[in-house]
Amino acid sequence: MFATTQPPEMTAEAYLAWEPTQELRYEFINGEVLAMTGGTLPHNDIAINLLTALRPQVRAQGCRINIADAKVNVAPSIYRYPDLVISCDERDKTAITAIQYPKLIVEVLSPGTESLDRGDKFREYRSLPSLQEYVLISSTQINVEIYRRGEGRLWLYTAYQAGDTVTLESVGFECSIALLYENVLAIE
């Protein structure tokens, strides 16, 4: 892989022009660009299992579902790459650069990114008025955590483990947790 020169700081406009010309994906946080690392095979398998299960239902609802390479514009100076994002907002249906009105965001947790996903990313995502659910799926054990928007600034927490049925209320979807971990050999 070739080394990529990355400017130490830039504007959001410069980032949006620069990033598509790069070999790697970069998140943009308040003027800084951060290279995205590759995930493990279990991480990828879990994301694909969820996408495959969800896609028919959310597409039938007229929603857009994207995985991994779709940016979310969290704030004017923040662009993140969640593992999966769903938007049912008409304004996102023709988006080219980034999703701006996500209804559901999923992060598959990796040991190297778990604290970021639970911390800064969740704090940033909570600022999006359209976001109804934030889903964290472990790639090292059978465990799914969902944060659902409640009244005001309240977020309700539900944890799922082996044998449970996972419910995504924002899109009216249920599936066995086993489906998310199907053929994920490192966890079985």
- 146-182 pLDDT tens trace: 999 999 889 999 999 999 999 999 999 999 999 999 9
Domains of the chain: 1-36 (no CATH), 39-180 (3.90.1570.10)
- 21-62 pLDDT tens trace: 999 999 999 999 999 877 889 999 999 999 999 999 999 999
Residue 36's Cβ-side half-sphere holds a number of Cα atoms within 13 Å equal to 21
Residue 187: predicted pLDDT: 67
SS3 content of the chain, % helix, strand, coil (to 5): 30, 30, 40
For 39, other C-beta atoms within 10 Å of its C-beta total: 18
**Is 4 or 140 the better-scoring residue by pLDDT?**
140
- 59-104 pLDDT tens trace: 999 999 999 889 999 999 999 999 999 999 999 999 999 999 999 9
pLDDT band per the 50, 70, 90 thresholds, residue 188: low
What DSSP designation does 117 have?
Answer: I
The number of residues making up the chain comes to 188
pTM of the model: 0.93
Residues 45, 83: Cα–Cα separation, whole Å: 11
Residue 112: predicted pLDDT: 87
| Alpha carbon separation from 112 to 5, 43, 73, 82, 172 (Å, rounded) | 23, 12, 23, 15, 31
- Is the pLDDT at 111 greater than 50? The verdict is yes
